[in-house]
Each structure stands twice: as C-alpha cells, then as structure tokens.
Structure 1
Amino acid sequence: MGKTLTILAHGDSDGVCSAAIAKAALSSRYDEVKVFFTHPAGLLEDLTNFASGDLIIVDVAINETHVENIRNYLRNYGGEVTYIDHHPPPLNTSVEDLGFTETYVDYVEEASTSELTYRKYRKELSKDFDRVALYGAIADYADVTPWVEEALSRWDKRQIYFEAGILSQGLENSRKLYNLKRDVVNHLSKNLRPSTHEELLKRALNQTQENEKLLTWVEQNVRIEGRVAYVLNPPGSIPIAAIYTLRTANTEVGIAGEVRNDLIVMSLRTTNKKLNLNNTLRKITPTIGGSGGGHKNAAGARIPKENLSKLIELLNEELKRTQQT
C-alpha cells in the first residue's frame, strides 16, 4: 500500500486555497493525496470517517464540545497530524496540547490560514504561488497583514482581487458540491487562475446575480430585537445575508440563520469593536445547547431552533456590557 496524505479543510475560499497550497507542496512525497471538507461541528466525525495516513487539518477551528474526544482520537492516530489554523483556540485550551504532531497557528496578526500554509511550505513552492495564498486571504477578509501587503506589492492587485472575487463567489455558489470543490483545489494546486476554471466562473456570475436578489429579500424580511437584527431561511448565502442584515437594519449585530431539522445554523456579523463574537459565542451557546465561534467580528453558530430568542436576548445583554467598559 502506498503512502497517503489526507487533507481536511474548511470548504470556503481560505480552506480551499490552504488545501491547494498543501497539496502542491507535498504531493511529491505521497502516492495519494485525498481532500475532504469539514467544519468545526463535524470535525470529529469526519476524522473518524475519512482520515488515513498522514493528516493535515487546515482552517478548521476546534470546537469546545469535542476537545477531549479529539484529544483521545489523536492520541491513538497512527500517522503524523499537522494542524494549521487562524481561529482562536477553544476556551481554556491550547491546541498545542491536543496531540498534533505539529501546529502552525497565529492568533495575533489575524492572518488567513492560506497565508499561514503558504508561509509554512513556501520553500517547496514556486515563487508565483503566493498569489494562491492571496486569493484565500482576500476572500477571508484577512488582507491587511504585513505579509499580504508586501506580497500584493509584487502583483497587479486589481488582477489578484478580481481572481479572489471569482473564487469566493464561485465557491459560495457551490456550497455542498464537494467534488467540484476538490476539482478547484486541484486546479489551484497547479497555480491556475480561478477565472480559467469554467464551472467556477459560471457559478461566480450566478452568485453575483443571486446576491442582488438576496439584498432585496433581506430588506423585506429583516427583524430587529434591541441591537440585534436577524433573518431566517434567506434564499441564498447565509454569510452574505448576515452582512446584508447588518447593513439593512443598522444594528450592532446581524444574524442570518437556516433551519435544518431541529437546529438553526447561522452566521453572525458585528460592527461593535468592543464585542468579540468568537469569545461571546463560545461562552453563551453551550448554555443553550449549541456551539459557536469564529472571529471577533464574524462567526458562526448552531443552536436548537427553539432557543433563537434566548440567543438574541443573551447577545443584547453582552452588547449592553460593552457600553459599560
């Protein structure tokens, strides 16, 4: 049996670019490189179902709920496990203590995982491969780090932003089309531009049209409770709907959620610089039977659908506290 590398990546642009960079850098060492897409709430299950050989996990936060189970899984895993990520760690836990063979994380500069993955493997990549990392950084709103600014200065930034836009829009229009996403990873791992992937380009144009319709829908369906605005089951991208909700309602927090069976899967955005959505959601969602986290001003959560009002109440309480500090 040949040597295998499994890459578990988040399915957004940052995760896809990170997976492409890792694949490009390491393919020559392995007989087979397999790519699967996961998310914080599903990481433990996907490790069990898909991991084999050496393993790289990119752009996937560690969920507090699964910390101990992931630690136990890694303790018994047979291959090397590398973890590269830019999300804040679980509360009261260091990812370095979870049992990874190697960790490459950065919580200070707010760099994208694409940037971190490129910086780790840059010696094994062509000099022009930095543009793939730039696509991921721009699409993840992590384009103001010193590395990004220096790397962009060596490109026509208009072209880089154009390609990043196609990638992010195209992937948003391909949410659960995992085979297509694998094909995009393979495409980018050859340092080919997103605009030269015919299906991705077509989907990017479709997504742009859908976003315009989504904005109108949000304006007609947004609800406001205190300093929090929300929409449920938007006909389009959940993250983009959260941004449009924030913009339309002019509140401090915007939420877009999708009801899936007994859960609401949601994206949240804030303009309140004193509110850390990652810390807030990691603290309050477990108290209502859910989980959540992400970044300071952009995060995600999953909660029982009957607890939406409670979540909004808790968020309003946190917003009031920010006025007192």
Structure 2
Amino acid sequence: MRLVFAGTPQPAVPTLKALIESPRHEVVAVVTRPDAPAGRGRHVVRSPVGALADEHGIEVLMPQRVKQPEFLDRLTELAPDCCPVVAYGALLPQVALDIPVHGWVNLHFSLLPAWRGAAPVQAAIRAGDEITGASTFRIVKELDAGPVFGVLTEPIRPQDTAGILLDRLAVAGAELMVSTLDGIEDGTVNAVEQQHADGVSYASKITPDDGHLDLTTPAVAVDRLVRAVTPDPGAWAQFRGERLKLGPVTPTGAEALAPGEIRVERKRVLVGTATHPVQLGDVQAPGKKKMAATDWARGARVEQGERLS
C-alpha cells in the first residue's frame, strides 16, 4: 500500500522504520510537527520522525495546522491508501480523515478503551496497572474512540519507568502496525467497535506540576508517581525553598517517619510517607549535576527533622 506516515517523537520511530523496511508497503511521505527549538542552545531541530525520513529521502510535510488547504491538497495528490499514525501530536479534521481509502490507523499505547488520551503509559503506571499494551484502531472524530484492529499485551514490571515501558511498547507496537496494515491490504482484518459501556478511562497530558510528590500518600503511590513521570517531566519535591529533582525511589520496610521527614543514614537516605519511608535514589539540586542521595545529603548538611514537601 501507499502510505503517508504521521508521527513526531522517538516512540514513533520504530514503526516508521518497520514500514520503510516492509516489502509490502511504500512510505511516500511523512507528516510531522514543525521543526522546533530544543536543547540548551535552543537550536531548531527536526523531529525524530522527520530526521529518519530525511535519511531515507522521504518527503517531509510539516503543516502548522492540518486543515491548511495546501497540506490537504498535497495529501490528496499523494493519494495514500492508508495513513498510519504514532504520536503525531495534533488533531486530525474530518476532511483529512476522508482522504486515504483505508483511513488513518493509529497505534495507541494502551488496551483501548482504557487510557484514551495523551499519556496512557504514564497513567497505567501511576494507577498500578499490572498489564498494559498497545492497540491499532481507525481514527474517528472522537478521541481514541475508533474501532480496534488489533492489540498486544505487555506486563508492567516493578521497576518500569514510563520511558522504559514506552520503549518496549514502541518496538512491539511497530510489529503490530505492520501486521495490521498487511491485514487491511489483504482484507483479513476487521475493526471491532470499542466496548464503551465500561472500561473507558482517560490519560491527560502530563505537566511538570504532575511530578510534584505528595508525601502524605502511601509509599507505593509515591513510587508509582516517580516512575510514571520518569524521564519526563521528572519527579520533584521542595527542600529549603528549592525544587529538588528526585528518582528513582524504593519503598522500604523501615520504621515510619512523618510524611516528608528526611533521615540520613550512612548508606541511604529515607523520606517519610503515609506508610513506610521510601529510599531516595538520585537527587538533583537546582544548577547542579545529578548525584546519589547520600552525597547530596552530606553536601547539603541535612539536619534532623528537616523535610521534603
């Protein structure tokens, strides 16, 4: 099939690479978010998907808005049979959805209808889900509500951060997308409507404020939140009026401390929660490099009774 692929960040790259390498499909163009400043130097850079397309000589389209007539005209000229999508980052108007013969097929990193929305992996970890996965579905106007072509499941491991889990799902999901498009071309796969009566949940976009640790919650909830916001936007707490970046943390069976209370031991630093303390892993103070919590505590000369908040 002739494909126009839409995607932007690194998790979309495995799928684009798999489709480029597929003998059955031809990626004639890529749609990605416009080049944007990144890094400390704020240099304008290509998205990971756009950069991969450049390497393979594939046309890159970067509309500011998908409804722009010039973009829609070019998409019509390309005449794609289908438009696979992975984390593109913009809503698609119906006029764009109607152009490809087989519509737009999205790879979403959850078991739909669970965790529709922008941050399904983070939401699954924070909620304590034991199993997650990925789904391919036909995009419709309602958010992540289209009929599902295929799914895969993936256990959430105790040490999984959002970054680690998303990397696994991105690789496995690439295979799911290729097999879905193969089936669409062959007429052997059918999209099944989602069961909307139950199981629908939503995963809103993660913001830096979401990384603020609530140490009045149980240790297990603190651990889940830290893992859910790692690597981005990162977990943090206040200490002496400054924001400390934290992670990972490890729930312990140590003697209880007041929520946020810090106990510095020779080989570990503990912080109180609503249940047992958690052990801090790395700490990064403003303007400083990341360091082991014990090194930070010695340098900061943490006093008995001081707290994170």
Q: Same fold (TM over 0.5)?
A: no
TM-score, normalisation: structure 1: 0.29
Question: Which structure shows the bigger proportion of residues in helix conformation?
Answer: 1
Question: Which structure shows the bigger proportion of residues in strand conformation?
Answer: 2
Give the structure with higher Rg (CA): 2
TM-score, normalisation: structure 2: 0.30
